[in-house]
Structures are given as C-alpha cells and as structure tokens.
Amino acid sequence: MKNLYIIIFILSIVIQQASAYNLNNRDKSKEERKENNSLHSVTNQIVPEMFNFASYQFEYALKCVDEALENRTKDDQVTPRTINRDGTLKLVGPRDWCSGFFPGSLWLMYQYTKDSKWAKQAEKFSELIEIEQFDETSHDLGFKMYNSFGNGLKLTNNPHYRNVVIQSAKTLAKRFNAKIGSIRSWDWNRQVWEYPVIIDNMMNLELLFEATRLTGDSAFYNIAVTHADTTLKNHFRDDYSSFHVVDYDTITGKVRLKQTFQGYSDPSAWARGQAWALYSFIMSYRYTLTPQYLKQSEGIAHFIFSHPNLPSDLIPYWDFDDPRIPNVPRDVSSASIIASALYELSEYSDKNKNQYIAWADQILMNLIEHYRAEPGTTQGFLLLHSTGHLPGNSEIDVPINYADYYFLEALLRKQNLTDNKIYDL
C-alpha cells in the first residue's frame, strides 16, 4: 500500500510541475485548471491516510510519554518536545515555549477524527500547562496557550477554556510597550539587548486577536495591530526577507540593533524566521483585512520560492544564506509552517491562488514521501529532519513537536480547501 502511495506522489509531482506557473503568468487555461483540480483530488486522498498514520504514531507517542514520565528527573517535565541525542524522549515543562504544541496536535487529531479519545488526551495535556496563563515572563503565550486551549475552545466551546484564553491574552498584553510599539520578547541577554523583539513573536498575536473577538475589548486588537505594524516597518529588508531580532532603545523607542540569534548571520535569512513571517502576516490579514499585511505575505512567499538556495523539493535548508549549502541540515519545521501558511494565503489571492496551492501540495507530498518517520519509531513523532537552533548546537536534524503540529494543520487546511474559507470568523 505504501508503495502505491509513493507512485501516486511521484505522479502528482510530475503533474504539479507541469501545471505550476510563475507569479506573473496569465490565468490558467481550461485544460490546466482541469489538471490542477486532478492534482487536488490526488492529494486529498492522502489526507485520511496521513491521519491514520498520525493516529498510530500518537498512540505510540502516548506510551513513550508515559514511560518517560516514570523516569523523569524533574516533576515539571510534562510534555514531549523532541528527541535527545541518545534517542530518548525529551520532556519539557509548562514554561518551555514548545509546551503547547503536543496538546495542540492532539486537539487537531480530535478535529479531524471526531474520536473522543483524542479530546480526552488533549484535555489532559492542556491542563498540565494551564498555569502558563499567568506567566508574565513569556512572550510565547500564543504558542503555549492558544495552540492548546484555543484549539480546545474552538472544538468544545468549553467556558473554562474561554477564560484561560482571555487570561492568557491579558498576561501577554502586559509585555507591550507603547513607546516602542511592540511586545517584548526575551528578558535575558540584557548586556546586549535593551528591548529585543523577534520575528517569531508575530505568531502570538493570534491570541490577542481572538481575545478581542471573545470579549469585544479592542485593547487586545490594538496591541496586536501596533505590534504587526512596528514589525512591518523595522524587521524586513527590501527583498521581503526578515531579520530575526530587532532591539529597541527603551527611552527613544528607536531601533538599536538588527541581528540574528538562531540564524547563520545578522544579514542572512533564517528559514524558520521567514516561515514565521509568512504565516503570521497572513494570519494578521485574516483578522484585520489590512492590505499591507496581504502584500507583505505575498512578498515573503515570492522571496522564499524565488530564492536560488531553495531546494527542488521545497524543503528549506536551515538558513537560506549558509555558504556551506548544500552540506547543511534541512529544516522540516519551516516547510510545515510554510505549507500551512500557503493554504491560507491561497484563500485571499485570486491571482496567485493556484500557485500557492501547488507549492503547498508539493511540500506536503515531499514531507510525506521523504521526511516522514517510520510507524512505531522516533518516540511517536511524525516528521524527521528539523533544525531547532544550529548555532547553539541544539536540536539539529531531529523530530520536533512544532513541525508535527503545523504538518497536521496543513493537512486539515488541505482537506478544507473546498470550503469558502479555511476560517469562518
């Protein structure tokens, strides 16, 4: 059966490459549109198969987590993040920025399968990090609390989850500085930075947008928009690539430094940073319908897919500008984020809709064919070959929970592509 799907994938890629066109090309002919629709039907057949695979893997993952919990060295290690160098499962505590992705993935499993066993597990692992709704030291409350409790709220309408989401937004809002116009990222490395803001921080704005939708209080919305506008102004280069870190003067509010922390160099394009930028600005457009956010998203997509160092399978190297390419690690997590973002971006772009879908489809098919774990291996993770922090010699060429989360989200968005909108707000 797996060989059959591999054949289907290969045929699909051939069809896709024959029908894909450049951003500035004219509309597709009737024959090309028919061919593109055929491509969609092929990949849609894969979605159920991939969720069957994910069900098997997560059943195994839950067993691995139970075993790791029995052998943990700290009581606050509650959720899986990645695999250690010795092959054992790495658990992290609620304060870890990745603590929400595993419960979030379980909620996505419930969303697709409607099987209550996944809701039960998602509830369990969400509750283990619930204390984070009060964590004023973290800018990652969106990653932690919205991916877990936010997804839970959408799927169950549990009033307690609503309260947790709102409280989390209130906590995150405390990190906003009106003079600078941004939410502060890290509190450490103060000998170098006064007020660092990382591109990743854009992803946490969804929590604030949702808080306004839930409460009617525009304060959350206004903070999110101000942060997005400041990021738009200061984080990007003329080619739409993004710096990783922008540091601000706390007195004047002006930019002090533009740097990287996880990328190859200050002027380089760290792959996951570009993925966060693409995803977050189209998400911000969803809530605001601000034309500049859509333009920025399309510019970022063009940067990524026109870059000479993007491999033919569309799975990025960890940094687009590492001079050692091709002898450097890939980053599957970036690919998953990009694919999910492209499906949403396609909903707002009449001109480039088919191209964005074609790129996302190709990414998904290549992830499935070449970067997927074997069933019953790798502690239950779905995808291999992500890169967390190469300059820090941490999490290089390993499975990581956020790669799996955005892979599942991309599959769900692909499945729902025939709806009027991926999101119905």
Feature table: binding site: 140, 200, 260, 272, 276
**How many Cα atoms sit within 13 Å of 368 on the Cβ side?**
31
Inter-residue contact 296 to 307 (CB < 8 Å): no
Cβ atoms within 10 Å of 317's Cβ, excluding its own: 23
Identified catalytic residue from 96, 135, 200, 247: 200
Question: CB-based contacts of 393: which residues, under 8 Å, 6+ apart?
Answer: none
- Cross-strand pairs, 257: 247
Q: Measured on CA atoms in the order 166, 171, 172, 173, is the torsion positive or negative? A: positive
Secondary structure (3-state) at 81: strand
Asked about 200 being catalytic, the answer comes back as yes
Binding residues for substrate: 140, 200, 260, 272, 276
CA dist 176 → 88, 172, 207, 220, 236 (Å): 38, 8, 14, 10, 20
Question: CB-based contacts of 307: which residues, under 8 Å, 6+ apart?
Answer: 269, 320
* Residue in 398, 395, 394 with CA at minimum distance from that of residue 378: 398
What is d(CA 100, CA 361) in angstroms, rounded to the nearest whole number?
26
* Residue in 399, 310, 297, 401 with CA at minimum distance from that of residue 362: 310
Strands 196-198 and 255-259: unpaired
Identified catalytic residue from 96, 115, 135, 140: 140
Amino acid found at 319: D
Amino acid found at 392: G
Can you give the length of the chain in residues? 425
Residue matched to tokens 């605001």:
288
Q: What letter would DSSP give residue 374?
A: P
Asked about 331 being catalytic, the answer comes back as no
Q: What letter would DSSP give residue 412?
A: H
Residues tagged active-site: 140, 200
